[in-house]
Each structure stands twice: as structure tokens, then as C-alpha cells.
Structure 1
Amino acid sequence: MDELEQANIEQGLAWLSRRRKVDIFDDMFIRTLHKQLFGDVWRWAGQYRLTEKNIGIDPIQISMQLRMFLGDAQLWAEQDIFPPLEAAARFHHRMVLIHPFPNGNGRHARIATDILLDVAYKHPPIAWASGYNLQADNARRRDYIAALRAADAGDFDPLFIFVGAR
């Protein structure tokens, strides 16, 4: 399954590279991106989850919360509220916190965050893995999860450090 997922992600990234216009602040784009990244693996790809998970908000709130969050992120970019990597860390955290899809949220959120950096800030992508596989249990993944959990509690410094903002 991992090889199929990786092949589908690569196809999704190829699809993304062919697009002339990308609206990272549009919830339809967020869903389409997920479908392009995982549609060959999961038939429900691109559809918001309908059930509770051990992470994420109430499924009934996903659509509204995602649109509100994307509006916030657009304001951050248009008004230069945060430096690029800090905005990226906040964007990534909120996407993971909402957890809109049944699966693939971390990979989708990392790719969406890199799109945000490119489109809204003209900034290079984050070195998320730094040579490690973030899907496997290793020190980099543990640091990533710990940084997200700290951000859940309101302490964004570990996540800022993780993405290179500090």
C-alpha cells in the first residue's frame, strides 16, 4: 500500500505542477488536492470525513471550520501578519487540527503548506523530513508529533523550530 500511496502522491504532485492557477485558500482546492494525492488509493479521497476520530474536530464542523481557517490564512498572507515560515507552521497545525479527511491528513497538510509558501509567500518549501521518512517511527517524526502537540496546547515554538522559523 505504501508504494501505491507514494506513486499516487507523485501523480498528484505532477498534476499540481501542471496547474496554472492554484487557490490554496479555497476549500474546493483543498479537497481536490487530497483527491489528486490519494484518489487511486482510497475511493473516498477528497471527501471530508463523516465520523469521529481520535484526532480532529467534530465532522459536522469540518466544512465551516476549514473555510474560516482558510480565510484567516488568506488574511495572514495579504496583511503580512506573520513571517512566511511562522504562517506556514500555523497553517499546517490548523489543517492537522481540523483533520478533514479519514486518512492522509499529515501528508496532505505538509504538501498544502508548501503550496501556501510558494503561492502566497514566494518562499521555498519546508524540509519536513530532513532525510527521514516521516511515515516511519524515528526521531524526526517524534519531534514533529511533539511539536504539533505543543501547538495544540498553545506553544508554537517547537513547531516554529521544526519548520525552521526560529
Structure 2
Amino acid sequence: MNASLFEEDDEANTPLEAEEREQLIPSYITLRRELNEAEQINIADAAKWLAARKRVMLHKKFLRNLHMHMFGQVWKWAGKYRHTPRNIGVDAYRIPMDVAHAIDDAKFWIANDTYSPDEIAIRFSHRLVAIHPFPNGNGRFSRMVGDLIALQLGQPRFSWGSINLVDPNETRKAYVASLHAADAHDIAPLIFFARS
């Protein structure tokens, strides 16, 4: 059965406001599966864009640019901070300040070897998903940023639970549970999940 495009009970995606839904670019998309495929193609294009650049990742302009490259062929709001409330994340007016604070913290952690490279990457990734700066795509965006920081710090990309390819729903549940643990200041389950 194909899920409708903006099915409200889809736990994998943050619900979009009506004004955000209207900014879908491809007119052929009518099903969630088609949206997922279009976004995945766009994300693969973003990976190619990244490979061709020397990147300065810990900068708000780079982060917004990355989100735009990940979703800009699908959504007009790609790379633009959200202006609407969510049941997750910070209030919209706080997004620029909180992103800047997260960047400053990560720069400090790197400069002072505060944490291991994996923990720095995961802590920053978690901060981004907790802020929820964009209308949607925050999880995929934050995981890609975590991978980029890990690579920049000499570590391999994270697997993000891909060892369990048998049941994607269980993988999603494990990811969400590890995010909730990190929200409660226990980062270890998220680090473990990212390397599983």
C-alpha cells in the first residue's frame, strides 16, 4: 500500500505546515514513496557536491548550503531556517543563535580534545537534530554532518544502524531511543548506534 504524500501519522518525518507543503518543486510527486525517492536522489547529488569541495563544515553558511544541496531540487525552503513551530526542536526565533552556539561548542571541543573524535561528531549531530533548524530533513542532514566531522577528524563514516538491514522499523526505533537518551544527557547509546 502506498502512503499518501503528507500522511500525518508518519513518525519518520516531521509534519509540514500547509505553507511548507506548497513549496514542493516536482509536480509529479503524489505519494510518500515518490517523495522519498526524489529526496534520496537529491541527497546523492549533495554527496557528489561535497566530494568536489574543500569544506569548512563548522560554519552556519556551509551548513545551510549543505541542506540546500541535499533538498533543493525537491523543496523551495531547502537551506532556509524554519519559521514555523514544531513539536520538536527549539522555537524558530532561537535557531540562528542555537546553531551558532553549537558550532562554537564543536570548535572548542576539537581545539581542546574535549571528547574523542566520534563523540565530537555525534554530539554536534545530536545538537543539530535537537535544534531542528529546517522544516524537514533534519535527521538526514544531521547524520551527514556527523559523518563529515568524523571524516575530518580522521575517523570512518558512521553506519547509523545499517547493520540491521533486516528491519528498518527496528533500526528507526533504536535511533529514536538513542536520541532520547542523548536528550537526557546520555550520549553513549547514540555513539553506539552510530557505529552499529
Which residue matches 1:11?
45
User: How far does residue 132 in structure 1 lie from its aligned partner after superposition?
Assistant: 5.2
Residue 91 of structure 1 contacts residue 113 of structure 1 at CA under 8 Å; is this kept in 2? yes
Which residue matches 2:155?
123
Larger CA Rg, structure 1 vs 2: 2
Alpha-carbon distance in 2 for matches of 1:82, 1:14:
30
Alpha-carbon distance in 1 for matches of 2:98, 2:105:
10
Matched, 1:27 2:60: yes
Residue 114 of structure 1 contacts residue 126 of structure 1 at CA under 8 Å; is this kept in 2? yes
Residue 161 of structure 2 contacts residue 193 of structure 2 at CA under 8 Å; is this kept in 1? no
* Aligned residues between the structures: 161
Alpha-carbon distance in 1 for matches of 2:41, 2:113:
36
Which residue matches 2:99?
66
Alpha-carbon distance in 2 for matches of 1:12, 1:63:
23
Matched, 1:149 2:180: yes
The TM-score with structure 1 as length reference comes to 0.91
User: How far does residue 129 in structure 1 lie from its aligned partner after superposition?
Assistant: 3.8
2:79 partner amino acid: G
SS in 2 for 1:138: helix
1:138 partner amino acid: N
2:187 partner amino acid: F
Alpha-carbon distance in 2 for matches of 1:145, 1:102:
18
Alpha-carbon distance in 1 for matches of 2:164, 2:141:
17
Change (3 A) 1:28 1:90: same
Alpha-carbon distance in 2 for matches of 1:160, 1:124:
13
User: How far does residue 160 in structure 1 lie from its aligned partner after superposition?
Assistant: 2.3
The TM-score with structure 2 as length reference comes to 0.78
Larger CA deviation: 123-132 vs 21-30: 123-132
- Structure 1 runs of 4+ off > 2 angstroms? none
Alpha-carbon distance in 2 for matches of 1:15, 1:111:
13
Q: Which runs of 5+ in 1 are unaligned?
A: none
Q: Counterparts of 1:52-63 in structure 2 under 5 Å? A: 52-63=85-96
Larger CA deviation: 89-98 vs 39-48: 89-98
Alpha-carbon distance in 2 for matches of 1:113, 1:87:
9
Residue 85 of structure 1 contacts residue 163 of structure 1 at CA under 8 Å; is this kept in 2? no
Which residue matches 1:91?
124
Q: Which runs of 5+ in 2 are unaligned?
A: 1-34
